[in-house]
A and B are shown apart, each in its own frame.
Chain A
Amino acid sequence: MKTIKRRTFLKATVAAAVVGSVPLSIGFNEFKKKAEEAPVKKVPTICKGCTSYCGLFASVKNDRVWKVEGNPIHLKSRGHLCARGHGMAADLYNPNRVVGPMKRVGDNEFEPISWEQAFQEIGEKSKKIISKYGGNSLMWMEHGSHRKFYVDQWFDVIGSSNFTTQYSTCFNAKTNAWLQMTGTSLNGDHMNAKYIIFEGRNFAGGIIPNGMNHITKAKANGTKIVVIDPRYSEIAKIADEWIPIKPGTDLAFRLAMANVLITEGLYDKEFVRRYVDGFEEFWKVNKGYTPEWAEKITDISANKIREIAREFAKNAPKAFIEPGWHGLHAHYINSTQTAQMGIILNALVGNFFQRGGLMPSASISLGHIEVPERFHPEKGERADGAGIDGQYRTVEPARGIAQITPDLIDNGKIKGVFIYNYNPVRSAPDFEYQKRIKDAELVVTIPTIWDDTSYYAAHYILPEHYYLERSDEPETVSGHVAHDHPQVAIRLEAVKPMHNTKHCLDILKGITKAAGYDDLYPFTVEDHIAAAVKPLGVSLEQLKKAGTLEFPANVKPGFPMKNGKPALKTKTGKVLFSADLFRVDGKMGIPTWVAPLVMPDTSKEDEFRLIHGKQPWHSHIQTANNPYLLAMSERYNGTYMWINKSRADKLGIKTGDTVTVESSIAKKNVKVKVTELLHPDCVWLPSTYGVQSKKLEYGYNVGVNFNDFAPVMVEPLSGTTMAQEVIVKVRKEGK
Chain B
Amino acid sequence: MAKYGLLIDASKCTGCTACTIACQMHNQLPPENNYNRLEMMERGTYPNVKMEILPMQCMHCDNAPCAMVCPTQATYKREDGIVLIDHDKCIGCKYCMTACPYDARQLNEDRVPEKCRWCPEMLSKGEQPACASTCMNEVRLFGDLEDPNSELNKKLAQVDVYQITPEKGTKPRIFYVKK
Binding site for B on A (CB under 8 A): 4-10, 32, 35, 66-70, 79-83, 85-87, 89-90, 204, 207, 209-210, 212-213, 216, 232, 234-238, 242-244, 616-617, 627-632, 635-636, 644-646, 675-678, 680
Contact = CB atoms under 8 A, between A and B. Distances in A.
Contacts of B135: 80
Contacts of B11: 238
B114 to A, nearest CB: 12
Contacts of B47: 242-244
Interface in B30-68: 30-34, 37-38, 40, 42, 44-47, 49-51, 53
B136 to A, nearest CB: 4
B14 A204 contact: yes
Contact of B136 (A6, A80, A644, A680): A80
Interface string B152-168: 00000000000000000
Contact of A234 (B15, B20, B33, B49): B15
B103 interface: no
A221 to B, nearest CB: 13
B1 to A, nearest CB: 26
A8 B29 CA distance: 11
Contacts of A678: 46
B136 A82 contact: yes
Given A86-B134, A213-B136, A677-B46, A6 B30 contact: yes
A81 B42 contact: no
A9 B12 CA distance: 32
Interface in B97-152: 109, 130, 133-138
Contacts of A627: 31
A207 B136 contact: yes
B155 to A, nearest CB: 12
Given A7-B30, A9-B31, A212-B137, A83 B18 contact: yes
A244 B46 contact: yes
B17 A237 contact: no
Contact of B34 (A79, A85, A635, A680): A635
B69 interface: no
Nearest to B29: A10
A322 to B, nearest CB: 15
13 contacts: A4-B31, A35-B28, A66-B28, A67-B25, A68-B25, A80-B136, A83-B16, A204-B15, A204-B16, A209-B18, A212-B14, A627-B31, A678-B46
B178 interface: no
Contacts of B49: 232, 242, 676-677
A678 B30 CA distance: 34
B21 interface: yes
B3 interface: no
Contact of A676 (B16, B20, B26, B46): B46
Contact of B22 (A6, A86, A244): A86
B24 interface: yes
A12 B33 CA distance: 16
A666 B26 CA distance: 43
B14 A237 contact: yes
Contacts of B45: 645, 676
A8 B109 CA distance: 10
B46 A646 contact: yes
B31 A86 contact: no
The 4 closest A-B pairs by CB, nearest first: A204-B14, A209-B136, A631-B31, A67-B25
A632 B21 CA distance: 9
A440 B26 CA distance: 46
A636 B40 contact: yes
A9 B51 CA distance: 33
A38 to B, nearest CB: 12
> Looking at B47, B135, B138, which has the most chain A CB atoms within 10 Å of its CB?
B47
Interface of B: 11-18, 20-22, 24-26, 28, 30-34, 37-38, 40, 42, 44-47, 49-51, 53, 109, 130, 133-138
B14 A617 contact: no
Contacts of A80: 18, 133-136
Nearest to A219: B12
Contacts of A232: 49, 51
Nearest to A28: B109
A630 B21 CA distance: 11
Contact of B138 (A70, A216, A236): A216
A67 B42 contact: no
Contacts of B12: 216, 238
A51 to B, nearest CB: 17
Contact of A32 (B28, B40, B44): B28
A56 to B, nearest CB: 11
B18 A67 contact: no
Contact of A213 (B17, B24, B137): B137
A234 to B, nearest CB: 4
A589 to B, nearest CB: 36
Contacts of B20: 83, 632
B53 to A, nearest CB: 7
Contacts of A6: 30, 32-33, 109
Contact of A238 (B14, B28, B34, B134): B14
B16 A645 contact: no
Contacts of A85: 18
A210 B136 contact: yes
B27 to A, nearest CB: 9
B18 A10 contact: no
Nearest to B28: A32
Given A83-B18, A632-B17, A236 B51 contact: yes
A81 B22 contact: yes
Contacts of A9: 30-31
Contacts of A635: 34, 37
Contacts of B26: 67
B21 A234 contact: no
A628 B21 contact: yes
Contacts of B44: 676
> Looking at A5, A6, A232, A235, which has the most chain B CB atoms within 10 Å of its CB?
A6
Nearest to A638: B17
> Looking at B11, B25, B45, which has the most chain A CB atoms within 10 Å of its CB?
B25
Given A6-B32, A86-B21, A676-B45, 10 more contacts: A79-B133, A80-B18, A81-B134, A83-B18, A204-B14, A204-B16, A207-B16, A212-B137, A237-B14, A238-B12
A8 B37 contact: no
B51 A677 contact: yes
A289 to B, nearest CB: 23
A87 B42 contact: no
A680 B38 CA distance: 27
Contacts of B130: 67, 69
B32 A4 contact: yes
Contacts of B51: 232, 236-237, 677
Contacts of B32: 4-6, 631
Contacts of B17: 83, 616-617, 632, 636
> Looking at B22, B37, B40, which has the most chain A CB atoms within 10 Å of its CB?
B22
A35 B21 CA distance: 19
A212 B13 CA distance: 11
> Looking at B15, B31, B130, which has the most chain A CB atoms within 10 Å of its CB?
B31
